Amino acid sequence: GKNILHKYKNTITNSYFCAVMKNLLSKINNPTDLRKLPENQLPQLAKELRDFIIDIVSKKEGHLGASLGVVELTIALHYVFNTPEDLLVWDVGHQAYGHKILTERRDIFHTNRELNGISGFPKRSESVYDTFGVGHSSTSISAALGMALASQLKGEFDKQHIAVIGDASIASGMAFEGLNHAGVTNANLLVILNDNAIGIDPSIGALKNYLTAVKEGKNPKQNNIIKSLNFDYSGPIDGHDLPKLISELERLKSVTGPKFLHVITTKGKGLQLAEEDQVKYHAPGKFDAETGKIHPKDESHLPPKFQDVFGHTLVELAKQNEKIIGITPAMPSGSSMKYMMEAFPKRAIDVGIAEQHAVTLAAGMATQGMVVFCNIYSTFLQRAYDQVIHDVALQNLPVIFCLDRAGFVGEDGATHHGVFDIAYLNCIPNMIIA
């Protein structure tokens, strides 16, 4: 982090951030500075931080909606907990812009996602405040639990370990594995569910329906999935209410064993258009910081996108063959599977963030004569490697894998590059790579 700061300290320009960096934010270089503020000034800091993110991302692009949604939560976490001694893990990292700004990277935040700039995701080599490198979802609970158990072994019983995970990410199998293990330990672990009912596309599945019922007060208190896993459950609470967040986090510091806080937030909070169209404003490109209106791109001279050609072609094929099925793990828009979902809603399936399940589901359908097109980003198919080998290839089942975002993907960086697919798929029997 210090090397990056030194490299860019003479390149900082008013056009990127000084116009919106007002009295409070300009004084916050790290969480120690943040903790010196009286609590009644934190709402003003939240406004300044939100304006700062909007201003920079409007010019430099990036993941907007998720970071806007957790501004208050980010401030509360660094205000209550003694970071970096207390360990904070952000799941995926789309929502970590406020975290980066408050942890010694405010003045270089305009280099976010640029060559030789800071990473778009938390990255251990970049800052001591980035306790775990992320980019793929659903790793935070396992990582934070590992840290908590290690702290016990070292005799560091007062150290706090916090995992912040979204409602889309917690539906993944790995997150359940982490919860299942944590529930039979006495680890000093706090899992915070940032529930905004959306990932990149709207969240789906039975767990999402359960969380919606909890938010609406329709779920009986005795029927609590998290409590059944031996977590001390609290919530749901308003994730934009700073006094309530701080009070609850302070209380949870003294609770022993695994704890779970359910927080309700609004993705895109503070920018009206981002709140109204949360899919588009997940990563909107350049936009007007005042109005939120996205600057149009002239793409008339460009060839059609690969994923759109795939999506429209799949619809045409599906019209001719009723056995064709489409499957995607939480990427209907990014993979353009949305076109088949619109045309044949019963034959196109979004399984949520569940790549392993997507592959084996495709294999199961293939045993029954279905022609399955399983569309997964190249970097995410890595998460289902055993299923590709064991459940598809060794059984010689005719599943068609359509890998999107192969090769280098630019600003998202190493966690999202699709550079391993040919190498790791070429060695698998019964696999034809076209």
Tell me which DSSP letter residue 1 carries. Answer: -
Q: At what angle do helices 71-80 and 242-253 cross, to 10 degrees?
A: 40
**What count of Cα atoms within 13 Å lies in the side-chain half-sphere of residue 275?**
8
323 is catalytic: no
- Structural element, H or E, at residue 50: helix 42-60
User: What is the pTM (predicted TM-score) of this model?
Assistant: 0.88
pLDDT of residue 209: 86
Please identify which of the residues 50, 113, 159, 267 carries the catalytic annotation: 267
Please identify which of the residues 48, 104, 126, 355 carries the catalytic annotation: 355
CA distance 159 to 409: 37
Q: Strands 189-195, 161-166: parallel, antiparallel or unpaired by DSSP?
A: parallel
Q: Which residue has the tokens 């998290």?
A: 226
Question: What is the side-by-side strand order in the sheet with 348-350?
Answer: 348-350, 324-328, 371-377, 399-404
Asked if omega into 398 is within 30° of 0 (cis), the reply is: no
Contacts 24+ apart (CB under 8 A), 363-368: 363/387, 363/391, 363/392, 363/395, 363/397, 363/399, 365/325, 366/392, 366/397, 366/398, 366/399, 367/395, 367/397
Residue 90 near residue 164 (C-beta atoms within 8 A):
yes
CA distance 389 to 363: 11
pLDDT of residue 341: 96
CA distance 47 to 35: 17
- Structural element, H or E, at residue 242: helix 242-253
177 is catalytic: no
Question: What is the side-by-side strand order in the sheet with 232-238?
Answer: 87-90, 161-166, 189-195, 259-264, 232-238
What sign has the CA pseudo-torsion 419, 423, 426, 428? Answer: negative
CA distance 369 to 348: 16
pLDDT tens for the chain, 434 residues long, are 545 544 444 444 444 444 444 589 999 999 999 999 999 999 999 999 999 999 999 999 999 999 999 999 999 999 999 999 999 999 998 999 999 999 999 999 999 999 899 999 999 999 999 999 999 999 999 999 999 999 999 999 999 999 999 999 999 999 999 999 999 999 999 999 999 987 777 778 888 888 888 887 777 656 788 999 999 999 999 999 999 999 999 999 999 999 999 999 999 999 999 999 998 899 899 999 999 999 988 777 889 888 999 999 999 999 999 999 999 999 899 899 999 999 999 999 999 999 999 999 999 999 999 999 999 999 999 999 999 999 999 999 999 999 988 888 888 888 899 999 999 999 999 999 98
Please identify which of the residues 269, 338, 383, 405 carries the catalytic annotation: 383
pLDDT of residue 16: 44
Which residue in 104, 117, 15 sits closest to 62, CA to CA? 117
pLDDT of residue 424: 94
405 is catalytic: no
pLDDT of residue 397: 97
pLDDT of residue 22: 56
Whole-angstrom CA distances from 394 to 34, 185, 402 are 56, 37, 19
Q: What is the DSSP string of 140-203?
A: HHHHHHHHHHHHHHTT-TT--EEEEEETTGGGSHHHHHHHHHHTTS---EEEEEEE-SBSSSB-
